[in-house]
Amino acid sequence: MVALHEAPSPRNVFTRRDVTHDLVLDCDAVIVGSGAGGAPMAAELAEAGFDVIVLEEGSYYQTRDFTANTSQMVRQLYRDGGATMAIGNPPIMFQEGRAVGGSTVINGGMSWRTPDDILARWREEAGIEDLTAKALEPYYERVERRIHVAPMDEAAIGNDNWLLKKGADAKGWEIVGNLRNQAHCVGSNRCPFGCPTGAKQSALVSYIPRALHYGARVYADVRVSRITFHGKRATGVVAKSANGHHVVVRAKLVVASCGAIHTPALLTRSGVKSRSNLLGGNLSLHPNVKVVAIFDETVTGWQGAHQAFQVREFADAGLGCFAAVNLPPSVVAMSVPHRGAQLGRLMADYDKMVIAGLLCEDTTTGHVKTIGGRPQAFYQLSPHDAANIQRGLELLAEMLFAAGAKRIILPFHHVQELASADDARRVFNKPIPPHGWEVVTVHMMGTARMGSDRLGAVTDAFGFVHDADRLMVADASLFPSPCRVNPMETIMALSTRAAGHLIDNAGRYLS
């Protein structure tokens, strides 16, 4: 059987090989970015009969291209090889996908609706009255159907996740089966490097094929330099292909779906100003940290589904979840401060490791500044969030020791190893200066926040930029504040909702 995504490249996907001269293209809607925001928008508008062009800076890969070569996958699928960083103390490494399908190609596939209390906060902060669970329900349902959100097949759950559950159960803590966009994930545990089995229903294998099926055109390897305007009205984009050809797209509507780091940069490069002064501001990013727990038993954590469970016991306290997240040996080796013989001894126990992380719902914000046309994120972890993360690490360590861990490596540059829960309590009894912490994230949000008040938000409730015409944002930039859970499904639901609004008002926006 040849899977859909392994068929020959669709004829309306254009890569650098196909762009052999300068191009001028016309369409109804041009969408910049092909990830969780751009791909659903493209599919919905294309199915409604509109002429859609998607421009993606990264390349077009298919499932067969996703191999066991971790570093090659990182080089191909991650922006700047994953070496992107928000400046602060500590600096926070963040990762963005740069390929057709965007970050959905490299995420873990966790698919959760934004909790009701967060939506209530968004309604209050953003003044968007219909941002309720009930109003979003049909969009969430539609997204969940399309990307096949489902609990894991039990047979695909690996030992690392069972140990996480054992620890949570021993502590009596709430643990839930993860919902993921997968159709019979068989636990290759390669989610962050492109799913090699085709099970993860990323935008690459769901919304993008759908968009193509209904006539959308996807141009890969094309970087948009700016949006063009006639007065306040967006009229298209100017871009350049990877092989140096100019690509001009003339469109009735421009949608920026480049993610919370690059969308504000694109808008700023294009001369867009927001009277709210919030374009590029309000950056939140769910800081997360990981520990390496070493057990006596063989775990073989690389065989089994990525994040089969989430511990939710402390979600109300700002610790969104604890989860087991297996990483290949090379990534573990680069994440720990060990070196030399000490690194060798640690890595000899690779098959006995459970790598577990926690996600912090941050209470402060940073910003994205556009310098020389390129975005640079700045984010200073607040003392409150640092203390919360420290508390979370203590709890995570307690849980892993309850599961039988023999020692735990902490995410600090200076080697910190715990041998027991008592050890954890002792180490975390006093504040640990954040300098030297290893903090990472993949959830950047909020840099073009939506809201009804043009003085307090960059876009309106559907993502239309307040201070421009026919220019939309459809990605996590819209979030008024952190969503506490994995953001992909909400990005898709909001994008679908916005597409519905466009179709309902096509005479105004797409004529």
Partner 1 sequence: MTPAYRHSATARAVLRSLVPVICPPDAVALADAIVDHMELTLGTTPGLVRRILPIGFAAYDLGAVPRFGRRAQSLDAARAERYYARWERGPTPVHVEFAHALNQVMSLACYEQPEMMERIGYRVGPWIAEATKKRLTVFADDVRAQEKQILAPDPLRPIAKQEVA
Contacts of 182 (CB under 8 A, 6+ apart): 109, 148, 150, 152, 199, 200, 201, 305
Q: 317 with 388: CB under 8 angstroms?
A: yes
Report which of 330, 352, 356 is spatially closest to residue 343, judged by C-alpha positions: 330
Query: How far is 53 from 63, CA to CA, in rounded Å?
Result: 23
Contacts of 43 (CB under 8 A, 6+ apart): 146, 207, 208, 210, 211, 214, 216
Element (H, E) at 298: none
Query: How far is 134 from 141, CA to CA, in rounded Å?
Result: 11
Query: How far is 361 from 441, CA to CA, in rounded Å?
Result: 11
Active-site amino acid positions: 443
Task: Compare residues 346 and 478 and give the one whose CB is closer to partner 1.
Answer: 346
> Which residue carries 């909001």 as its tokens?
494
Record the tokens describing residue 422, joined without a space: 């008592």
Q: What is the 3-state secondary structure (H, E, C) of 224-293?
A: EEEEEEECCEEEEEEEEECCCCEEEEEEEEEEECCHHHHHHHHHHHCCCCCCCCCCCCCEECCCEEEEEE
CB atoms within 10 A of CB 197: 16
Q: How many Å from the N-terminal Cα to the C-terminal Cα in the chain?
A: 43
Q: 439 with 287: CB under 8 angstroms?
A: yes
Question: HSE of 258 in the Cβ direction (CA atoms, 13 Å)?
Answer: 29
φ/ψ region of 429 (left if φ > 0, alpha if ψ in -120 to 50, else beta) reads alpha
Question: HSE of 430 in the Cβ direction (CA atoms, 13 Å)?
Answer: 2
In 372-503, which ranges are E strands? 374-378, 407-409, 417-418, 439-441, 471-473
Q: 472 with 466: CB under 8 angstroms?
A: no
Nearest approach, Cβ of residue 216 and partner 1 (Å): 13
Q: Which amino acid, 177?
A: G
Distance, CA of 257 to chain centre = 12
Task: Compare residues 210 and 466 and give the one whose CB is closer to partner 1.
Answer: 210
Query: How far is 170 from 402, CA to CA, in rounded Å?
Result: 6
Contacts of 124 (CB under 8 A, 6+ apart): none
